[in-house]
Structure 1
Amino acid sequence: MPKPSPKDSSSPTGKLSDSRSNNRKKAPTSKPVGLGSVVLFWPFHIFHLFLKPLPAFLRMPLRIGGDLAISGAYVGLIMAVFYYIRAKPYDMAKVAEMPQRTIVYDRRGEELGRIHGEKRDVIDISQVSPDFLAAILSREDERFYNHGGVDWIGVGRAVVENFKRGGIEQGASTLTMQLARNSFPLKSKWLDFSGKIQELDRKFLEVAVSYRIESHYTKQEILQHYVNRIFWGHSIRGIEEASRTYFEKHAKELTLSESALLAGIVRGPNAFSPFNDIEKAVRERNGTLDRMVVAGTLTPDKAEEAKKDPITVRPEWRRIFHDSYAMDAIRRELERILEEENIELGGLEITTTIDNLIQKKAEEALDAKLRQIERSPGYPHQTRAQWKELPEGQKTRPEYIQGSVVAVENMSGAVLAIVGGRNADESKFNRALQGRRQIGSVFKPFVYLSAFDQGVRPDTLVSDGPIYKGEIKGAGNWRPQNSDGKFGGMLPAATGLIRSRNTMSVRLGNRAGIDKVADTALSVGFETPMPKLPTSYLGAWEATTYEVASAYTIFPNGGRRYPQRIIDEIRDRKGNVLYKNDKISYEATRSGSAWTVSNILREVTERGTAASIKSLGFNKPCGGKTGTTNDYKDAWFAGYTSSITCAVWVGLDTPKKTIDRGYGSTLALPVWADIMKTADKLGYKAEGLKSQLSFVECRLCRESGKRATAGCENASEAYTDNVPADLAPADNDLCPIHPAKALAVDESTAHHDDEPLRAQAVSEDEVIMEEEEAPLKAIPVEE
């Protein structure tokens, strides 16, 4: 039986149920939750339902804390999406693409230097010492293999430590995070107005990019990219370059002590550099060894043993990477090739034609000779030693005596050595390429070459007497003297070159013609057009050592020229050939003329102005020509063997007298001889200068070089010569100086109308001289 309801005195019915019924009717009804709210804020709704049964005093603080936590999660989610979208455009392939320096090798595979790009050498992780890998992980990211890009345990630890210390004393960057910020520019320029906000934004973006890196690469790949990217101070990037720079060894050869030191200085590479402060570097090494013990990768005993190892870094005198004139020439050539071939800079492997053994010898030989000159009694100019002793603030452009050398392989045009001065660190001016100086008598062979092309022969007689006014076309009153101040009579043309006779050279140039000589100069490799003045016959115009060396290669090459080249091949780091410089050649002049001049230049080194070459210790077959300009301002020697052609110049940058009697044979020839002796030992053999030419026996006139006539025979000017086939005069190309002439006869002699008139040869004493313009004539006679 049900119990009666309790009574309520305030109720008209006296029942409590009436009051409750009335209260329920008056209570406001709650609004239904919208679909959008459920979808967007369902975590709040679920959390609130979970808290509903709890007492009010618990429910309110929990609700406030929980709502804040859920709001934080919402903010975190929004930020994660925001930074994921911002991290998405970054190309992960760029992580593995690191700007490397271009490595330059000589023809033997020896490294000459590095240019372009960053100071880095990318290597595989297998080429890195395991001790270093253990050290860098212990120091920078102990849980590297246990996180996905961000070490949240490390983050928590850093937050606690920084809170305790009241500042940012400890970071939590993983190797992946460091790799992210070293691979991509993560700072947002639109946040430049606030450095703190910008840094915070960069950190969040770094985290997002780190997760992308972890999803794209394996841990080993990430570690490899990291050790190749890391900065080690002094512009050094990557473990291989750091190892080579600091310890002069490859990364695989690092000891435990050296590995710990390099790992230790990463956090402050310039501040802790062993080059700057060895004590700080050792302290960082010891700290890293202790961390390795804590991480369990090293025993305490081995750590203590490693701490006792002495640190031996690259000596100070070997820390300066010296420039060289060969590298300057290579850079110039490379820039032209890259532009023409559209090859991207950096990370290339360039094989050059330079032979570093000859390059070094050329540098040493030049400086040794110039130091000898500076030690001569009464030497009037600044010496290099005096310049080096000047205080740094007082050093200006060097004024000491300089020189340049270029050595070229005959049958390829390959530049074996190029020296543009005594020291590229003291003077960047590359005299071999940029120094245009008067070339003097070294140009004379090309004047003779032009004359031989025009029919002159070595035995053709040429006057060595004074030049008279009006004799040389375009010369005006210019009347050059011979270097010895003397004159001779009619001499063979070859003698003029062997003895370097100015008057004979000018006459032969005039005979060949200024246009012909100028064309020859361009054809053999002189880049600047020769001034069309008679003084040019004696080399009174300017060219570089590079041009002179190239031009002289036509003599041992029988008239062919291989344009000079200094870069042989360019490859990328994968070994793909991007550029190959195949040797080409062309006929610069008639082979017979080149062979003829070469024969004479060989005599120059045997009994001419370069005869001292044997006393200098070089006794192999060779040819060449000395050159000395007015007042001994420039001294030259250009010469060749069957393998190499080499040109040497000596002088002061500001043209002035070097020393008394500063001839090419005195100043330049000894340098050439030293270089050639070394080249011969290295396999560039100086053998006999041979020719494949065919020859024709001809009866010629000594005065005209043409086919001899009866007049030449009567005048005793005819001789027999073996002439290169391409130079042999045609059968009807007869001497115009000694033609067949007619004898005057007695008028009383009968003349028969039915017989033709005939000419008879006469002796030279009976020649009737005509005006210069009129041709020689025959006088008819009757038999």
Structure 2
Amino acid sequence: MGQGTLLQRISQLVVVGVIAGLLVAALALPAVGGMGITARNVASGFLDMPSQLETPPPPQRSTIYDREGGVIAEIFDQNRELVDIDDISPVMIDAILAVEDSRFYEHSGLDVSGTLRAAIRTAGGNTEGASSITQQYVKNVQIEAATSQEELDEAREETIARKIRELRYAVALEQRMSKDEILEGYLNIAYFSDGAYGVESAAQHFFQVPASELELHQAATIAGLVRYPYLYNPRFFPEQTTDRRNVVLDRMVATEAITEAEAEEAKAEEMDLDLDTPPNGCVPSDQPFFCDYVVQEIEQDERFGPNETERARWLRTAGLEIHTTLDPQTQEAGQKAVDKWVPRKNDARKVAAQAVIEPGTGRILGMMQSRNYGPDESKLGETSINFVTDADRGGSSGFQAGSTFKAITLAAALDKGMPFSTSFNSPSTTTVSGQVSCNGGRLESWTLSNAGDSNAGNHNMVSGTKSSSNTYFAQLQARAGLCDTIKMAEKLGLKRADGTLFTENDNTLANSSFTLGSEEVSPLRVANAYATFASGGVYCEPQAITQIEDRQAGTTIDIEPQCERVIDEDVADGTSYLLAQTFNGGTASSLGIGRPAAGKTGTTDGSAAAWFAGFTPQMASSVFVGDPRGPQQHPLRNVRIGDRYFGVVYGATIPGPIWQETMRGAHEGLETEQLASAPGKFGSTSEPAPPRNDDDDDDEDEASPASDDGGVPNVVGMSESDAVSALEAAGYVVNVSGTTVRSSESEGSVAAVNPNPGTRLPEGATVNVFLSSGGGRASTDDAPGGDWYPVTPAGPITRGDGD
């Protein structure tokens, strides 16, 4: 400290000491003679200064909990947890009083002798502070209350004016607060170094014990940090910290709080710090993307403050207890499945994202994706984008949803009163004309083809849904009306992930291929639309938060589900019935979960993205798999994801198993509930008879070889090449597994196929072939149960969104 600064500091202390002395004299002595009059005048002017200092609780940690009370994350500007003075160790109180204000319980906020003593010691070269604990508390309150840099600078300035203001506030506080209340406030607001604010957080941070269990050497260490938190930071300056602790112990001896023997014993204790800083924010959370969604919900919701800045400050300073909808069992099952099928650091840079919703409430039970949460998008396996949700909640601009949108077309058709038997000749390729957008504009003719495992032929709603025929659904959309189909999607809460409705800018957004999922949406919106079917037509806004307890304000905000009926129950139940048929010989045949379920696969044009959406009465989920760099530029073709190679990925290839494993795990322990039966008003649920194969028919009208009654050919015992030829001739994609199985068939020949011979599958479906290693009788248990690697199907990929 320079000589000029030192002299200025001395003069300030002397002046403040004189003022304090005059105030005490004026308040304690009668006005006799000139000196008394002067003192009384000084006191009168001083007492006329503003004295009302608000003392709100200081900033605290906010905590986000799952639905079972487990901690998801803590979020804070300052690591602080408030504690009552009765829950602070007596030795901690003795230590802080000894080193900071030994006369605290004797003075009235102004320690005149302490101020004068500090001035004398500073003049002698030993700089010493002069503030009482009450004055220090006042200063900290003003710093925490500052809302601008100007106010903050004013609270910290080294001037006589600031000292006098503190004195005035201190006098006022001593008149309206008890000593214990002031000391409690001080110990909760003080900064104790290394990011620990308040004595409770300091005790936890430095010694992993609550403030109530601090021992003498620990309390002396913490008390010594207050004066110069940075100089005495134990992390960086352990020797200075130890020296300062010993000073505190000596002061405690001087104040007779402890004996010399106790002080020496405490000095002999090793510092032995085990710094434990609580994780702050969503990055270190085990559920980071759900955590981020909760943060976004608070910061974007006008119910929680006038602007985003105020809402963010409230979240990080008010000590909120935020109770959420996240179900730990569902989250664990879903994250495990996502990570298994699409590892976080896969070299193909594909991502899987999944949302799980509770029908009838909109509560988000799980939110998973195959990425670590972090800001470096160039780092493999890391992102801060929540691909599960919309852009306004930290998500992306969405992804085309493929044939999951066919469920919307079904609902629109049933809403028009069409029966299940509504049939169309649905060849491999067709042209649809005459579609009209919501603004009345007539769209150009649309030519499309089936893709993937879609079946051609004569279809009604039941068989068309089972086989996911593009050409059937294009005609069904035209019959129901493109605009009505789009409006049905919006009734179900669907909109583009960028926030725009499908009916906005109609000429730009409305398009013929709506039923094939050509719009970019988020998994959360798709899952919630399917939850509306599961709930019998009641739509609920997605909900992540059920209650917020504001400990600072002493208030509680309960958040109830926001639900309304948007479609008739019969329409919802009819759609559910049709979607349930996909598990019965349809595109989801291998994805059952051992209880009633309904669902739909989805693969976009060119296998850019793959989806699965489905539900039970208790849960609805949708899974997306694709490439966030651009699905069209980086499709799901000829890719290795983790240790699996895929020629092409369909909705049933990766999204389906993720959904299946998630739902199985999430439903463990839950009672089995039935889906609604088919409403009688929609008529027969029978499928149409398969078309007749006539040589004179056009190829587009022929049933595919995979639709023949024989199903999967029995190729067991054949050579690999003969088996592949037979299966491909039947219209199937063949995957020869690298895993051999023990079998009585000769080594190298076919030991087993999956699905079994005779199983009827849609055209383009994958049949897995397992070769024999010889050495014994074949067993179906020897074939891996679903861990197979599909390859590119024979022939070109056809136009249109498939599955």
Give 1 or 2: higher helix fraction.
Answer: 1
Tell me which residue corresponds to 1:650: 625
CA deviation digits over 1:187-245, x for unaligned, max 9? 99999999999612212222222122111111111111101111133554222333344
1:620 and 2:595 aligned: yes
CA deviation after TM superposition for structure 1 residue 171, in Å: 1.3
- Whole-angstrom CA distance in 1 between matches of 2:321 and 2:332: 22
Compare 434-443 and 125-134 and name the one that shifted more: 125-134
Distance in 2, Cα, partners of 1:373 & 1:417:
21
Distance in 1 of aligned mates of 2:651 and 2:406: 14
Change beyond 3 A, Cα 1:632–1:77: farther
**1:179 partner amino acid:** Y
1:589 is displaced (CA, Å) by: 1.9
Instruction: Name the structure 2 match of 1:573.
Output: 551
> For the aligned residues, what is the CA RMSD?
3.7
Matched, 1:526 2:494: yes
Do structure 1's residue 179 and structure 2's residue 166 form an aligned pair?
no
In structure 1, C-alpha distance between the alignment counterparts of 2:252 and 2:336, rounded to whole Å: 50
How has the CA–CA distance of structure 1 residues 145 and 553 changed in structure 2, closer, same or farther, with 3 Å as cutoff?
A: same
Cα 1:248–1:543 change in 2 (3 A) is farther
The match for 1:351 is 323
Give deviations 1:454-481, integer Å, cap 9, x for gaps: 3333444332204444546366453222
Q: Secondary structure at the match of 2:543?
A: coil
State how far apart, in whole Å, the 1-side matches of 2:156 and 2:135 are.
19
2:615 equivalent among 610, 621, 640: 640
Matched, 1:83 2:46: yes
Letter aligned with residue 689 of structure 1: Q
Question: 1:311 matched to which residue of 2?
Answer: 272
Give yes or no for the alignment of 1:690 onto 2:668: no
**Is the 8 Å Cα contact of residues 538 and 564 (structure 2) preserved in structure 1?**
yes
Query: For 1:170-249, what aligned pairs fall within 5 Å after superposition?
Result: 170-184=128-142, 199-249=159-209
Tell me whether 1:478 sits opposite 2:463 in the alignment: no
Separation (CA, whole Å) in 2 of partners of 1:493 and 1:332: 41
Q: Distance in 1 between matches of 2:295 and 2:198?
A: 24
- Pairing of 1:379-418 with structure 2 (within 5 A): 379=347, 381=348, 400-418=349-367
Structure 1 residue 123 and structure 2 residue 79: aligned?
no
Report the 3-state secondary structure (helix = DSSP H, G, I; strand = E; otherwise coil) of the residue aligned with 2:424: strand
Q: Which amino acid aligns with 1:629?
A: T
> Once the 2 structures are TM-superposed, how far is the Cα of residue 174 of structure 1 from its aligned partner?
1.6
Which of 515, 520, 526 pairs up with 1:537?
515
Separation in 2, partners of 1:608, 1:521: 24
Q: What's 1:371 paired with?
A: 343
Q: Residues 95 and 220 of structure 2 are in contact (CA less than 8 Å); yes or no, is this contact kept in structure 1?
A: yes
- Residue of structure 1 in register with 2:385 after alignment: 429
Q: Does 1:505 align with 2:473?
A: yes
Contact 2:121–2:128, Cα closer than 8 Å, also in 1: yes
Query: In structure 2, do the counterparts of structure 1 residues 76 and 635 end up closer, same or farther at CA, with 3 Å as the change threshold?
Result: farther
- Please say if residues 322 and 545 of structure 2, whose CA atoms lie closer than 8 Å, have aligned partners that are also in contact: yes
Hey, what does 2:94 align to over in structure 1? 134
Contact 2:420–2:461 under 8 Å retained in 1: yes
Q: 1:462 to 1:420 in 2, by over 3 A?
A: same
Residue 514, structure 1, aligned to residue 463, structure 2: no
| Residues 403/139 of structure 1: CA separation in 2 closer, same or farther (3 Å cut) | farther
Asked whether the equivalents of residues 442 and 627 of structure 1 are also in contact (C-alpha less than 8 Å), the reply is yes
Residues of 2 paired with 1:193 and 1:594: CA distance? 62
How many angstroms does 1:119 deviate by? 3.9
Q: 1:494 aligns with which of 429, 437, 462?
A: 462
Equivalent-residue separation in structure 1 for 2:152 and 2:546 (angstroms): 49
- TM-aligned CA deviation for residue 519 of structure 1: 1.2
| CA distance in structure 2 between the partners assigned to 1:555 and 1:495 by the alignment | 20
Please list every run of 5 or more consecutive structure 1 residues that lacks an aligned counterpart in the other structure.
1-68, 382-399, 705-783
**SS of equivalent residue, structure 2 residue 372:** coil
Corresponding residue SS for 1:612: coil
Amino acid at match of 1:402: V
Change in 2 beyond 3 A, CA 1:438/1:192: closer
How many angstroms does 1:114 deviate by?
A: 4.1
Give, in angstroms, the shift of residue 557 of structure 1.
Answer: 1.1
Equivalent residue number for residue 19 of structure 1: none
The corresponding residue for 1:45 is none
Quick one: which amino acid aligns to residue 355 of structure 1? D
Find 2:418's aligned residue among 456, 461, 472: 456
CA contact (8 A) 1:100 1:122 kept: yes
Counterpart position of 1:21: none
How far the C-alpha of 1:556 sits from its partner, in A, is 1.6
Please show how residues 155-166 of structure 1 align to structure 2 within 5 Å.
155-165=115-125
Q: Report if aligned partners of 2:63, 2:71 keep a CA contact under 8 Å in 1.
A: yes
Q: Taking structure 1 as reference, are residues 250 and 366 closer, same or farther at Cα in structure 2, changes over 3 Å only? A: farther
Larger deviation, residues 559-568 vs 180-189: 180-189
1:447 matched residue in structure 2:
409
* CA distance 1:460–1:257, change in 2 (3 Å): farther
Distance 1:121 1:665, change over 3 A: same
Compute the TM-score of the two structures, normalised by the length of structure 1: 0.69
Q: Letter of the 2:220 partner, please give it.
A: A
State the alpha-carbon separation in 1 of the partners of residues 537 and 49 from structure 2. Answer: 67
Superposed CA offset, 1:116-144 (max 9, x none): 66543322212223232222222212222
State the distance in 1 between where 2:603 and 2:132 align.
69
Post-superposition shift, 1:83? Answer: 3.0
2:603–2:609 CA contact under 8 A, matched in 1: yes
- The 5 Å alignment of 1:578-617 reads 578-614=556-592
Aligned residues between the structures: 603
Tell me what 1:271 maps to. Answer: 231
> Judging changes above 3 Å, is the alpha-carbon distance between structure 1 residues 612 and 699 closer, same or farther for their aligned structure 2 residues?
closer
Deviations 1:310-347 (Å, cap 9, x if unpaired)? Answer: 53424589688636222322222223444477698334
Q: What amino acid is aligned across from residue 415 of structure 1 in structure 2?
A: I
DSSP 3-state at the match of 2:448: coil
- Alpha carbons of structure 1 residues 635 and 486: separation in structure 2 relative to 1, 3 Å: closer
Alignment of 1:728-767 (within 5 A): none
Identity %: 26
* Separation in 2, partners of 1:586, 1:402: 33
Aligned to 1:325: 289
Counterpart Cα distance in 1 of 2:153 and 2:367:
54
Specify whether residues 631 and 310 from structure 1 end up closer, same or farther in structure 2 by C-alpha distance, changes over 3 A only.
farther
The 3 A distance-change label for structure 1 pair 362 and 169 is: farther
Question: Which residue of structure 2 aligns with residue 98 of structure 1?
Answer: 58
Does the 8 A contact of 1:421 with 1:430 survive in 2? Answer: no
Q: Distance in 2 between matches of 1:349 and 1:697?
A: 49
Give the match's secondary structure for 2:192. coil
Which of 677, 702, 713 matches 2:664? 677
Give the TM-score taking structure 2 as reference length.
0.67
Aligned twin of 1:665: 652
User: What secondary structure sits across from 1:184 in the alignment?
Assistant: helix
